[in-house]
Amino acid sequence: MTAKTLMIQGTGSSVGKSTLAAALCRIFMQEGLRVAPFKAQNMSNNAFVTPDGLELGRSQAVQAAAAGIEPSADMNPILLKPEGDGRSQVVLNGRPAGSFEARKYYEGRETLWQSVESALGRLCSSYELVVIEGAGSPAEVNLRDRDIVNMEVALHCQSPVLLAADIDRGGVFASLLGTLELLSSDERALVKGLVINQFRGDRSLLDPLPEMIADRTGVPVVGVVPMIEDLQLREEDGIPAEREIAMRRDGVPGLMQVAVIRLPRISNLDDFDPFVRAGTSLRFVREPSELDGAHIVIIPGTKHTIADLRWMKSRGLDSAVARAAERGAIVVGLCGGYQMLGAMLDDPDGADGGVPDSEPGLGLLPARTRFTKDKVTRRVKLRVTGGSSSGLEDGSLGEGYEIHTGETLPTGEGTANELLELAAGDSVRTDGMANGNVFGCYVHGLFDSPDVLQPLLDHVSKRFDLSPPEAQLFSMEDEYDRVAGIVRDSLDMDRVHRMIE
């Protein structure tokens, strides 16, 4: 290996590893280093597409953007996409390798480790520094013999490790001390610094805790990172409860209400961030009554369309969506949600759920979906061509990406407009369907463009006599710089540099 490495591990899940890794990628990029992110194994249904049509976890795509480079499958060679019932689809080196139960998956550890080792080796030969993110906690002793993402990676490349803990959860001293106590001597020797993350309040009031932790563990605390308010980095998986509450904007009268069905296997949650930035009230809902009063209802993407459609029916959400459409709400289906809006879903080869299956859809679009084994993963440029009846403006331009199995075609019964024209490389084709106030398509990131979102917001505002929210032209580059600045000011970067050297 030629590149230097720095690894971020945590005392548990959701302690801020992904954000710290993204911030460090940005910091080192700003210092002039060619830096790349890496995470051996990710478990998330939030995926992104590389320029060559491969999949990787959303967090590594964010970190690559923070580093100023395009994402590659080498940055996340193993992506596990949970399907429920103890099974996950395994995406290996950017391509689906099948669906497995956990025990069967771990039986292939040797092959999986070879993929990890090869991907990391390619990154290290192409960059000056690789910022590596762990997963969960390295102290999960029941998983130690199957580890391919935490200390096994650190030992492989003899990487210095920063161990982060979330003080907002409480018990930060015990979390750090307990994690270090459960590591082997070789593993513990690689932990060169501790990070207290997500601290609220006056930093001086924390003293002498950092010194006490350093004295007890023998590892210095290299920084206390504050809680970063209104964080806009794309989420690795679910949305934290605190942010979800803020999205609802409770107590603010007269706001446009956006209801997103919280499917059990929901994916690509960042599709809805533009609505929040525009100032709408966005809620994730599970009960039919929660759709009452919604001006926009969105059925999102999912890892298992037919199973989640049946879940909706079991709760009466199918009827609630139909009632919302009848009273004039805009109903949107994205990816799997688009498939659900049609008349029928056929899965003759078990591509969606593992066994041959079929299920009537919601019947709000004259469409039929047939699932196939082939998975579509591509980035696209889009132009709205037939959405005027649904509130979109024909000619609006945007960009997005597709990750789906299946093809959705008109049934020939009823009338509907083709929604989008998509360009990917030299190919141009159509996607999506609009029928009155109901529309759907396969494109994730559809609403990231204010050119697409603002006409929809204006249309809904006029329909329901609301003040129109304003779609924001949001700069992720500015957000990467903001987060990097906060982390840089919070860490002893001289000490971090010495660790790497």
The pLDDT, as a whole number, for residue 414 is 79
Hey, what domains does the chain have and what are their CATH numbers? 4-232+478-500 (3.40.50.300), 241-473 (3.40.50.880)
Question: How far apart (Å, rounded) are the C-alpha atoms in residues 433 and 453?
Answer: 17
Q: What value does the mean pLDDT take over residues 373-391?
A: 93
The answer on pLDDT for 464 being more than 80 is yes
Return the exposure string of 203-226: e unless at least 16 CB atoms fall within 10 Å of the residue's CB, then b.
eeeeeeebeebbeebebbbbbbbb
Instruction: Output the pLDDT for position 12.
Output: 93
173-207 confidence digits (pLDDT tens)? 999 999 999 999 999 999 999 999 999 988 888 88
pLDDT digits (tens, 9 = 90+) for 15-37: 999 999 999 999 999 999 999 99
Residues with catalytic function: 335, 444
Cis ω on the peptide bond leading into residue 160 (within 30° of 0)? no
Q: 288-297, 334-343, 470-479: which has the minimum mean pLDDT?
A: 470-479
Q: How confident is the model at residue 429 (pLDDT cuts 50, 70, 90)?
A: very high
Q: What is the pLDDT of residue 99?
A: 87
> How would you write 159-214 as a 3-class SS string?
CCEEEEEEHHHCCHHHHHHHHHHCCCHHHHHHEEEEEEEEECCCHHHHCCHHHHHH
Residue 170 confidence (pLDDT): 86
Please state the rounded mean pLDDT for residues 420-426.
92
Q: Coil, strand or helix: which one is 473? A: coil
Q: Can you give the pTM of this predicted structure?
A: 0.90
Q: Is the dihedral of CA 394, 365, 409, 370 positive or negative?
A: positive
At 204 the pLDDT is: 84
- Return the percentage of the chain with pLDDT > 90, whole number: 78
Mean pLDDT score, 5-13: 96
Residues in the chain: 501
pLDDT surpasses 60 at 463: yes
Look at residues 148, 214, 176, 134 and name the one whose alpha carbon lies nearest to residue 11. Answer: 176
Can you give the pLDDT at residue 1?
A: 58
The Cα-based distances of 418 to 386, 413, 432, 443, 494 in angstroms read 5, 14, 6, 13, 57
CA distances for 250 relative to 277, 297, 298, 300, 498, angstroms: 15, 18, 19, 22, 47
pLDDT at res. 260: 97
Residues 6+ apart with CB under 8 A from 231: 19, 243, 483
Tell me what pLDDT residue 248 has. 66
Alpha-carbon dihedral 285, 291, 297, 300, rounded to 10 degrees: 20
Q: Decide: 440 and 341 in contact? Cβ < 8 Å.
A: yes
pLDDT digits (tens, 9 = 90+) for 352-374: 888 899 999 999 999 999 999 88
Q: For residue 473, what pLDDT is reported?
A: 81
In tens, the pLDDT along 299-328 reads: 999 999 999 999 999 999 999 999 999 999
How sure is the predictor about 250, in pLDDT bands with cuts at 50, 70 and 90? low
The one-letter code for the residue type at 354 is: G
Distance CA 213, CA 223 (A): 12
Residue of 452, 445, 346 whose CA lies nearest to 390: 452
Segment 96-115, tens digit of pLDDT: 998 888 888 888 899 999 99
Closest to 444 (Cα-Cα) out of 325, 274, 265: 274
Q: Quote the CA–CA distance of 300 and 266 in Å, as a whole number.
A: 7
Lowest mean pLDDT among 92-106, 128-142, 212-226: 92-106
Mean pLDDT of 119-140: 96
